Amino acid sequence: NRQWILRQRPKGLVQPTDLELVESPVPDLKDSEVLVRTVYLSLDPTNRTWMNDAEGYLPAVKLGEVMRGLTLGVVEDSKSERFKKGDIVTPMSGGWALYAVVPEDGLRPVHRAPGLPLTANLSVLGMTGLTAYFGVTDVCRPEPGQTMVISAAAGAVGSIAGQIAKQKGARVIGIAGGPEKCRWLTEELGFDGAVDYKNEDVGEALDRLAPDGIDINFENVGGDIMNAVWNRMNVHGRMAVCGLISAYNATRPPPSPNFARIITHRLNIQGFLVLDYAPRAREMVAEMGPWLAEGKIQWKVHVDEGLESALESLNRLFTGDHDGKLLVKVSEE
């Protein structure tokens, strides 16, 4: 087997000495266990938060343990009556490894979407799509004509969230890094406006693009970008706090926004976790399926080759050097 082991808690971006790629034998299967060969490893911003020894929604990965990660793989061997060799599955504890031995209760079968590549199951129809779909439809709940701002808008979740909000009739403005990502949002995905936070003042751009203020914020970044949005939220505005990626590598928490605005503008702020929506995946597929078939939702996948690339690849999420859902291809389908 090949596995990435967490050796020390990173400070800032992950460094080559923080994790080690080791070779080890694959253990024998016990009753009801399944051997899964990883085909794709999903790299997600939250992976970085699991490396910190801090209170989170899941326990921190311990030093000396295999790095946790969402994967999609093929059953190679099985002592379970529910899974057989060749089945495609997503283990809940696959991790950054070529092989994982998983109890049958920790496996979900993967149903290939007709006409779509397998990577769709880890992107637009996987956790990413689920986050975007329920973040918009259950938390943001945009009404036609409302102005919605999304940060990390050209990323995996943000780009899909924006297109869903367009389907619901909102006026959608995205914040993203660089002219090419902003062009993609407005010219290809149908966003009503885009702010290039790397090259323009976010507050000034929002004043220009949302002169009547902001009704809804799908927040992925936090920090100065969130504050610029926060200071322009309208009365009874709604914020879905999906992620705060600008803080994931930070050693101290960023300054808080002005909380008085929650009172003066009666803001409704809600954090959410995709895990809570996993049982409702069918609802997402029911509504998104036809949009995908009609070409109303587009998405991109960025695939890096080989398990050995995982550590460097993770840092792409924090530099923005990727286009769409970031995956590592660990072995052939």
Applying CB under 6 A, the residues found at the interface with ligand NDP are 44-46, 128, 131, 152, 154-158, 176-177, 181, 220-221, 225, 242-243, 245-246, 272-274, 317-318, 320, 322
Q: Which is nearer to ligand NDP, 121 or 220 (CB)?
A: 220
CB of 203 to ligand NDP, least distance (A): 15
CB of 79 to ligand NDP, least distance (A): 33
CB of 188 to ligand NDP, least distance (A): 15
Task: List the one residue out of 49, 93, 41, 34 whose CA is nearest residue 250.
Answer: 49
Answer yes or no: are the C-beta atoms of 327 and 41 closer than 8 Å. Answer: yes
Q: Which is nearer to ligand NDP, 80 or 151 (CB)?
A: 151
CB of 277 to ligand NDP, least distance (A): 8
Q: Which is nearer to ligand NDP, 4 or 50 (CB)?
A: 50
CB of 237 to ligand NDP, least distance (A): 19
CB of 49 to ligand NDP, least distance (A): 8
- Which tokens sit at 41? 């490893």
Render 251-295 in DSSP notation, one character per residue. Answer: SSPPPP--THHHHHTT-EEEE--GGGGGGGHHHHHHHHHHHHHTT
Q: Which is nearer to ligand NDP, 106 or 254 (CB)?
A: 254
Exposed / middle / buried, residue 92 (Cβ in 10 Å: 0-12, 13-18, 19+): middle
Burial 174-206 (b: 16+ CB within 10 A, else e): bbbbeeebbebbeeebebbbbbbbeeeebbebb
CB of 78 to ligand NDP, least distance (A): 30
95: left (phi over 0), alpha (psi -120 to 50) or beta: left
Answer yes or no: are the C-beta atoms of 233 and 214 closer than 8 Å. Answer: yes
CB of 211 to ligand NDP, least distance (A): 24
Q: Which is nearer to ligand NDP, 4 or 184 (CB)?
A: 184
Note the residue count of the chain.
333
- Beta partners for residue 270, in sequence order: 240
Q: Which is nearer to ligand NDP, 166 or 322 (CB)?
A: 322
Q: Which is nearer to ligand NDP, 45 or 162 (CB)?
A: 45
Distance CA 259, CA 183 (A): 34
Q: Which is nearer to ligand NDP, 101 or 132 (CB)?
A: 132
CB of 299 to ligand NDP, least distance (A): 10
Answer yes or no: are the C-beta atoms of 99 and 1 closer than 8 Å. Answer: yes
Exposed / middle / buried, residue 223 (Cβ in 10 Å: 0-12, 13-18, 19+): middle
DSSP, collapsed to helix, strand or coil, labels residue 239 as strand
- Beta partners for residue 108, in sequence order: 90
Q: Which is nearer to ligand NDP, 41 or 74 (CB)?
A: 41
Task: List the one residue out of 146, 140, 145 whose CA is nearest residue 161.
Answer: 140
